[in-house]
Amino acid sequence: MKNKIAITGMGAVTPIGIGVSDYWNGLINGVRGIAPITRFDTENLPVQFAGEVKNFEPTDFMPKKLSREMERFMQYGYVAANEALSDAGFNPDDGEISVSPERIGIVVGTAFAGAAAIAETQDELSRGIHSKVSPRFITKIIGNITAAQVAIAKGFRGPSLTVTTACSSGADAVTTGVMLLNSGMADAVVCIGAEAATSPLLIQGLASAHALSTRNDSPETASRPFDLTRDGFVMGEGGGALILETAEHAKKRSVRIHAELIGYANSTDGYHVTSPHPEGIGAVFCMQKAIEQAGITPDMVDYINAHGTSTPKGDVIEVNAIKTLFGEYAYKLAVSSTKGSTGHMMGAGGITEAIACIRALQEGILPPTLNLTEKDPACDLDFVPNAARRKNIQIAMSNAFGFGGQNSSLLFQRSEE
């Protein structure tokens, strides 16, 4: 790692709470955010539940005109970014900031961007509900406009990038942010993950690929990572944001450092468009490279927030990858998946789960894996089942994997600042 990287701001919009505090309290108190879908009629769909963001009224967080210009996934990312900027003391709305607008970058990660809006608009045209398309349509569906809206609202003029690496998009936004800092192109970077892909078309597509849980009779417990009876992942939605700075820059501003990002890596399986490599070679390589870059040994990692989506194959492959890399120490590690609470937030998950790691470092509490009631012999690690656990930790890893064989790992260290 060329520079020490500080996390100085955090923001979250999730199915279990809006704002980092509510999100974190929901995680450690075992709140389940998965429920029957309320946004559209699901009667003829094979899957009728998801992790929707509850009680989200855009105009509570932004002017009405701006809310009309953004699709839901953008709104989630914008609100999360606003919270993170305020947390870091970078929000022009809260007063003057001491950093040049040209030195603040933005990176957004999203898997589906405006795909749900595209499907809805085409359906309305096909059924004759509308005969014209809104002039805002294009700028509401393309992924880069999330970053553009933040930049326009805040007056930032630094680098602006959007990455789409399936469900590792949010984590890869953080990786890209570090690269901007290390290249000298920015002094601070707003890293955002945003997703709102719950739509009939996308549900049908994922269900056809046998990716989703079909437990319509028990949505709250449908996401059950590492459990023997797991049958697929549950779609979630939301936004997450982290403010990254070099530690030197953060100290000059005398701002609180939540944690240090000490290692990161990205890799590709080169195997299949939906299935991870059966031996988890890409995941092993990715975690190993993040550890090497951090200059630590595997036995210094105290906790892993696993990708753990609740799919029959994926969970076992991730467990085996952890065993391959960590050896016997894997059985001493605490490993949990927070997707039993939130569902799989896809592009937003890589950042919200990184926030879970940072809060675990700060509070000395490990978030649990919910709905883990029947042990799978193939998943035999310490998954912190069903209840949060107090444990002081120094280093935490966050994994995010995605279709196409995408792998992303982030390593955070407790800050003494």
Residues labelled catalytic: 167, 307, 344
What is the rounded CA–CA span in Å between residue 327 and residue 393?
A: 20
| Angle formed at CA 149 by CA 146 and CA 150, multiple of 5 degrees | 90
Residue 95 neighbours by CB under 8 Å, 6+ apart: none
Cβ atoms < 10 Å from Cβ of 1 = 15
What is the rounded CA–CA span in Å between residue 86 and residue 94?
A: 7
User: Within 13 Å of residue 250, how many CA atoms lie on the same side as its CB?
Assistant: 25
Residue 39 is which amino acid?
Answer: R
Residues in the chain: 417
**Helix residue ranges, H only, 221-263:** 247-252
Both tokens of 109, joined, read 């990660």
Task: Give the DSSP H or E segment for 361.
Answer: helix 349-363
Residue 174 neighbours by CB under 8 Å, 6+ apart: 107, 191, 242, 244, 261, 264, 350, 351, 354, 410
